[in-house]
Structure 1
Amino acid sequence: MKERDKRSDFKQNLESSMPILGLASFIFILLYFAGAITILSYLVFIVLFASGLLVITVVQKNDANVANNIQKFSEDTYFDYIVESLNSLPDALIIVNKKEEIIFYNTNAQIIFFDNKAFDSEDIIRLTSIIPSANLMNSIQEVREENISKKIDISLDEELFFETNIANAVKGINNRNNEGEVVIYLKNITELKRLSKIRTEFISNASHELKTPISVILGLTETLLNFGDEDPKMQKKFLKKLGDEAERVQTLIEDLLSLNYLEMRENITLEEKVNLNLIIEEVAESLLILTKKEQINLKLSIPKDDTFIIGEQNDLRRAFLNLIENAIRYNNKNGDVIIELFTKDQNAILNIKDNGLGIDDIHLERLSERFYRVDPEDSKKKGGTGLGLSIVKHIANRHNAELKISSKIGEGTQVSLIFELL
């Protein structure tokens, strides 16, 4: 087939030079019949014939150059397509040679590992200077020696975590020698690790929080069964304790269910038009009995005009209830709780302020974490679950609202929610 193609190409080139060869032959024959065959005529014939052969050679050479250029263009275009495809991958990709030098990295790797510096083939960068992981280097060596692919998890300073797939590179373009080259694909699982850690801690904390009151309930029940008839006063005391612990379990379960409910609905668009004035008035009224019990002065200040936002009425009621109840429970006797709602710069701002003991600055950033308590024992005595502010934070986030907490020891605490007005 190749020989046939070569003969065909030569035939085409020969046809291209036929006019020159024909002219040379015609002049030679004319001179011959005219009896003018001289050295000059031979020279003319030779020059013209040589010109024809030169045309054949040039045409063949041009055809070869065109073919080479087409092949090179095809390879360059194919290579650019591959690079573009690798750069569009959702995760980081790095290729190293047998010296562990980086010979390519894509756009995501550029952002994560190379301070957004674009790949430059002139740079000599060793993989260990970017990802100092003994596990990764050992796995690369294993992949080379056993001609296998491997998946491992690696971390950088215990801050970034990657699910890493390692495999030998496939044969390169134009049979390029790429022996020992390895492809490393790094999927960023930092957020998954964080969520997994939160879930594990949450389950552990929830189990602990439930275990304590249940153990108390079981102990009290056993005592009442064995000795309850002997001492009516003890029986009454233990029954009250049973009721308190059962209520504590119920409150904890309700808070856990509330958190789960909020997380399931966090991506649902809010569409309801709600009046903050009415919700705050309802919540304040529902806490009047508690304020009398705790001997707290509740002061309410809301605007005359209605304050409308887009939100979920039940969620907002729950958030306001948690915040105002905290201000009442963690206040001094005869203390004040001031609830103030006002508008400013297209925002509705709700401030809930008490003049209680106050909170140290070191605790403020963690107050909305699940099960975080400034004083665990005091919180349990007051019926707290450690989930109240976490619930408020979820509700605020869903309403695109800002939660601010400020406090001073000996002066009290102020919690603010800032909403966008309708």
Structure 2
Amino acid sequence: MNSFRTRLTVIIITMIALSVTASGLFMMKTFKENHINALQDNMVREMQFIAAKMEWRTGDSQSVLDYYTQEAAELKHFTAARVTFIRNDGVVIGDSDFDARMMDNHYEREEVQGAIKNGVGRSIRKSDTINQSMMYVAVPIQQIPTEKPYIIRLAIHLDEVDRSVGQVTMVLVGGLLILFVVAALISYRIALSMTRPLEQITKVAKRIKNMDYRARVKVMKQDEIGELGTAINAMADSLQVQMGRIKQNENQLQSVLANMINGVVMIDANGKILLMNRRAEEVLGFSARELVGRHYSDAKQQYELSQIIKEAFQTRQHLKEEVTFYYPEERLLELNLVPISQAGQEFNGILLVLQDVSAIRRLERMRSEFVANVSHELKTPIAAVKGFAETLLGGAVKDEETASSFLKIIYDESERLNRLIGDILELSKIESRRVPLLFSPVELEGFVDKTLTLLEAEATRRGIQLHQKVESGLFVEADEDRLRQIIMNLLSNGINYATEGGRVSIDIHALNDDLIRMKISDTGIGIPKKDLPRIFERFYRVDKARSRSSGGTGLGLSIVKHLVELHKGTIAVESTVGVGTTFTIDLPVIQ
């Protein structure tokens, strides 16, 4: 901007210099012409005065020549000019500077002819007599009406005129120089006043170009430059609003992409990957930094994926496939490849959406297994009831001992069926979270006493000792009925699987101010290590024969796990075959 200001100043000063120079030349020329005209007019007046006061004599005698020569010499002292008297036939009869008799006939001289024809003759030319440039002015004097007039001529050197003009020119040049300096200063101030706002506008424009949309022009005057600054400010306001909206939309889109549960990959028409969200990185096992900007085939571990993308580019149709990926871990993925186009015309690439359906398929498999297990579990007691009922109807009812035995079996199987249906309904309600929990403070020492009382008869029948160790004054916020269901299920399992003369114990203590820990142990047959990860699954039994003989449904531990999780707790199991099993439950003190 400084260079622009300099250029603008130079241009203005140059224009002023040219204007001043032209004006000066014109003024000097005009002044010179006016000065010469003024001198000539003054010379005319002097000659008219001379003609009026002077005695005019005629003839060509020596005395006449001497008279005019003497008069010319005296008049020169008064006029400061060369005085020449010329007779009507052009003969010089007197001259203040030269001998008239030696001078040529002046009749054809320009100033003489001008005086005869126009009343005043003027001429600037080189004198033949003195060989110098002179200015001549001549006027006619009518002495005798019947004769042609005599001529009086005054002449001055042009050097004197030039000297006079030069003095005035020096004054004029000095004035013009002063004017030029003043004009230059004024032009610099004008250029500064013009360029300083432009400089500010340029700086603001550069800041806006660099995406600093808070930059504004300080508008000092409401002139054209001020209007330009106002327009730039309005533009910056609009850009700031628009960029704010774009940034907000961009942040929203980035947030949506970053938090999507499905992977998204955008590929342009040349096969170059333009975008990958975080979920796509996890699924594919590549970071966006590794693949964005590169060809999709560079994901070499996913050869099957590359082939599907290649097919999508060839067909340019929506493709949907399920593919098992083994890197970085085994997953079943549903791939949706959608062609991208602008206005439904130009093909711009492929949008790949990756959905991990491993959990969905696993749930579907679990549902199928659950239905199969339920069908199997229901079929067994129903088949038993039906078989014994048919036997009774076939005549066995007449044998009272057999009939009583069969009816007892029918009753037990119907009870087992009833428990199974009840547990299924209970588990269904718990898993769908349709079980409202009524939390209240539970004093654990008394709570455990009441629970063990309910199980004492069964434990005594089986020869099992019940033991408790509960930290005194310990409270927990829980649903008392559901908490009792948890503990009774675990204690009942311990009683069922403990060996005769064995022991089932419960130990409850505080881990810290926020958590309590319950440990329920038995000295039973234990659980093999390979079965530990699955014991909380529905209908999973370690010892199927013993489980059925004890009346178990295979749903108890699954119900326990869900109830513990509803209390925001955790459950874990440790077991050694032939030694026993310990279940550990951690529950928060406050819900």
User: What TM-score does the superposition give when structure 1 sets the normalisation length?
Assistant: 0.74
- Counterpart of 1:312 in structure 2 is 479
Percent identity between matched residues is 27
- Counterpart of 1:261 in structure 2 is 429
Secondary structure (helix, strand or coil) at the match of 2:289 reads: coil
What is the CA-CA distance between 1:107 and the residue it aligns to?
A: 3.1
Equivalent residue runs for 1:59-74 within 5 Å: none
Q: Distance in 1 between matches of 2:17 and 2:390?
A: 126
Match of 1:410 among 564, 578, 588: 578
Q: Which amino acid aligns with 2:492?
A: E
Pair 1:297–1:227, CA change in 2 (3 A): same
- Counterpart of 2:322 in structure 1 is 153
- Counterpart of 1:118 in structure 2 is 289
1:369 aligns with 2:537: yes
- 2:323–2:333: 8 Å Cα contact kept in structure 1? yes
Q: Distance in 2 between matches of 1:351 and 1:323?
A: 10
Pair 1:142–1:229, CA change in 2 (3 A): same
Pair 1:25–1:246, CA change in 2 (3 A): farther
What is the CA-CA distance between 1:334 and the residue it aligns to?
A: 2.1
Q: Distance in 2 between matches of 1:350 and 1:104?
A: 50
User: How many residue pairs are counted as aligned between the two chains?
Assistant: 374
Match of 1:247 among 415, 418, 423: 415
Pair 1:21–1:251, CA change in 2 (3 A): farther
RMSD over aligned Cα atoms: 4.0
- Counterpart of 1:43 in structure 2 is none
- Counterpart of 2:402 in structure 1 is 234
Match of 1:332 among 455, 476, 499: 499
Secondary structure (helix, strand or coil) at the match of 1:383 reads: coil
What is the CA-CA distance between 1:101 and the residue it aligns to?
A: 4.4
- Counterpart of 2:307 in structure 1 is 137
User: What TM-score does the superposition give when structure 2 sets the normalisation length?
Assistant: 0.55
Pair 1:222–1:20, CA change in 2 (3 A): farther
What is the CA-CA distance between 1:392 and the residue it aligns to?
A: 1.1
Q: Which runs of 5+ in 1 are unaligned?
A: 1-17, 37-58
Pair 1:163–1:34, CA change in 2 (3 A): farther
1:212 aligns with 2:380: yes
Q: Distance in 1 between matches of 2:363 and 2:293?
A: 40
- 2:275–2:288: 8 Å Cα contact kept in structure 1? no
Secondary structure (helix, strand or coil) at the match of 1:374 reads: coil
- 2:272–2:293: 8 Å Cα contact kept in structure 1? no
What is the CA-CA distance between 1:229 and the residue it aligns to?
A: 3.2
- Counterpart of 2:567 in structure 1 is 399
- 1:329–1:382: 8 Å Cα contact kept in structure 2? yes
Comparing 378-387 with 181-190, greater Cα deviation is found at 181-190
What is the CA-CA distance between 1:146 and the residue it aligns to?
A: 4.6
- 1:220–1:242: 8 Å Cα contact kept in structure 2? yes
Pair 1:72–1:408, CA change in 2 (3 A): closer
Equivalent residue runs for 1:161-180 within 5 Å: 161-171=332-342, 179=347
Q: Distance in 2 between matches of 1:169 and 1:79?
A: 24
Q: Distance in 2 between matches of 1:204 and 1:115?
A: 40
Q: Distance in 1 between matches of 2:433 and 2:589?
A: 22
Q: Distance in 2 between matches of 1:348 and 1:121?
A: 50
Q: Distance in 2 between matches of 1:28 and 1:197?
A: 104
Match of 1:96 among 232, 250, 267: 267
- 2:266–2:349: 8 Å Cα contact kept in structure 1? yes
- Counterpart of 2:276 in structure 1 is 105
Q: Distance in 1 between matches of 2:489 and 2:405?
A: 29
- 2:574–2:583: 8 Å Cα contact kept in structure 1? yes
- Counterpart of 1:51 in structure 2 is none
What is the CA-CA distance between 1:288 and the residue it aligns to?
A: 1.9
Task: Name which structure has the greater RCO, CA cutoff 8 Å, separation 6+.
Answer: 1
- 1:266–1:398: 8 Å Cα contact kept in structure 2? no
Secondary structure (helix, strand or coil) at the match of 2:341 reads: coil
Q: Distance in 1 between matches of 2:15 and 2:346?
A: 53
Q: Which runs of 5+ in 2 are unaligned?
A: 1-10, 30-197, 213-238
- 2:528–2:575: 8 Å Cα contact kept in structure 1? yes
Q: CA offsets, 1:310-329, max 9 Å, x none?
A: 11111111111111111111
Pair 1:316–1:306, CA change in 2 (3 A): same
- 2:271–2:295: 8 Å Cα contact kept in structure 1? no
Secondary structure (helix, strand or coil) at the match of 2:303 reads: coil
- Counterpart of 2:589 in structure 1 is 421
Q: Which amino acid aligns with 2:281?
A: Q
- Counterpart of 2:528 in structure 1 is 360
Q: Which amino acid aligns with 1:364?
A: L
Secondary structure (helix, strand or coil) at the match of 1:337 reads: strand
- Counterpart of 1:341 in structure 2 is 508
Q: CA offsets, 1:336-362, max 9 Å, x none?
A: 222333334334332222222222222
Q: CA offsets, 1:71-125, max 9 Å, x none?
A: 9999xx7799669725632132112345644343223323432454536655455
